[in-house]
Each structure stands twice: as C-alpha cells, then as structure tokens.
Structure 1
C-alpha cells in the first residue's frame, strides 16, 4: 500500500535554483511549513556493469609482492627473495601484459623436502592466489631454487 503524495507549489516570490526548483532554505525546507522537511532527490542513473566502468591497472611490483607472499605460504618453502635494493642477488619478478602475467621466483626450500613437489605446489598456489587477488591469468611461473636450508626446529630455530 502506498501513501498518498501531497504536492505543494512554491510561493511565486520564492527563489528558484538553476533547475527551476524551489531553493532550499538553511533548514533544508523549501516550503513555508516547517513540520516536514523536504528531501533532496538525485536523478537515478542506470546501473553500469563493473566491467564497463573503467580500467584497473595493477603494477608489476604489486603482482610481484603478491606472488612472493603466496610462495611463502607453501609448506617446505623457507624463504622467497624479493627484488629491490636490499635483495642481494635474489629476485621475485612479474611481467604483466594486459591480463597475462609471467612470474619469476627465487625460493629457498627446507631440507629434505622433495624439490619437484615443493615447486609444483608453489606454482599451483601462486597461480591461484594471483588469479584470485588480481584477476590476472598466469602464463607461466619460473622458479629458481636458490638454496636448501635445514628444516625449522631441527637447527634450533
């Protein structure tokens, strides 16, 4: 059930805004009756699908950081080196071309983890996380195993 709508005409001497509508007073009311404040309405725009609203650019550095973090989440990976001034020799690098991404990771793996299984787990997990968080598709992931280090707990750390 809808409530009836009462239309009130503005007094002839009331100022109008640029659209020809009665101007709002300081209290937000355009009529002489102050018991019901008038509401401003905005024109309704049709909803535009998200994919047509604009473009989102994700820098390679962001994709690289996501990949490095995701690789570090895999069991058996001890360290993932990141690109930067303090990363001597190690690197995590992403190349983004449109929606396609190529990744290069340097990882240190815990001993005696099977390297092939750990690197395949890294590829799967990193590809899933990058796809989930950025929407980018992974072309391939190059993994360099830069070291094999004692498993945690066995070296006292």
Structure 2
C-alpha cells in the first residue's frame, strides 16, 4: 500500500512539473478552424477526451456546468471527442448535433481526435512521453494551470463538478 502511494505521489509530481505551454498544441475545431492552446495562455484549461456512446457521456452535463460556472473567471473546458475506445459517433456533424441537442453544449470542442497510441494527437503523445499518463478510457481529464503546467489528471469516474476537480480549478482562477 505504501509503495503504491509513493508511486502515485511520484507520478503526480512528475505530471505537475510537465509544462504543456511548449506546444504548439493545435486541435481542429469541430466548427471549423482550430483551437490553439497558446490562445488560452494564462488561463486554466480542462482538456477532456469524450465519446457520445459511453456510460460516462452524461458527464457532458457536468462539463458544461463547469464551463458555465467558471468561464467568466477564465476557465476553458475543451472537449476532445475520440473514437479510440470505439464509442464515438461516425462524423463530427453527428457529434456536434448530439452534444448540442442532448446537452446544450457550447464549450469548445475539437474534431474526432486520437488520444492514445501511435496516432495520438501531439498533446496526448507529449503528455504520455513526459509523464507516462494517457487516457485509459473516455472522459479522462487533464487540468492545465494558468502557468501552462499540468496540475492534475483524473480518470473517467471523477465527476466534473466534484470537489476534487472544482478545488483544483478554483486554485488556478483569479480571485474576485
């Protein structure tokens, strides 16, 4: 148990020291154009790999809730649809319609993107190379702090509006 705790703590420190600002990390925008993480420099960004046909898909509601609660203070929630776990719809148009109609999403969203393996997007490939961490299922979350460093990662079972996630986000936001 103690060895596991030390290993997990060591990984958390390694992940926390990973600087993602080195990019450039550009994602294709589901609406056309691109999302460039450097455009959000100085702001916390929660990057979440998502899927429309997953048991965790209802977390979209919580992700939108986070965005609604904190966007005026600078938080960006970036949804990254992925079919790496074979639970995403076939086209970006289907994903966009599903998310807007079912969950009323207006948070930034990418096109369908690989998040693991040889075809992983550079953001995820660099995260894995630097820390060993990669999404092991849909709705894994990565919080990049306002300083461009990875502050925390969470698996699929961590609910977006949980205290663990909101506390970490609030620590990165300017005080009002």
Tell me, yes or no, whether TM beats 0.5: no
- TM-score, structure 2 normalization: 0.20
More helix by share: 2
Normalising to structure 1: TM-score of the pair? 0.22
The higher-RCO structure (CA 8 Å, 6+ apart) is: 2
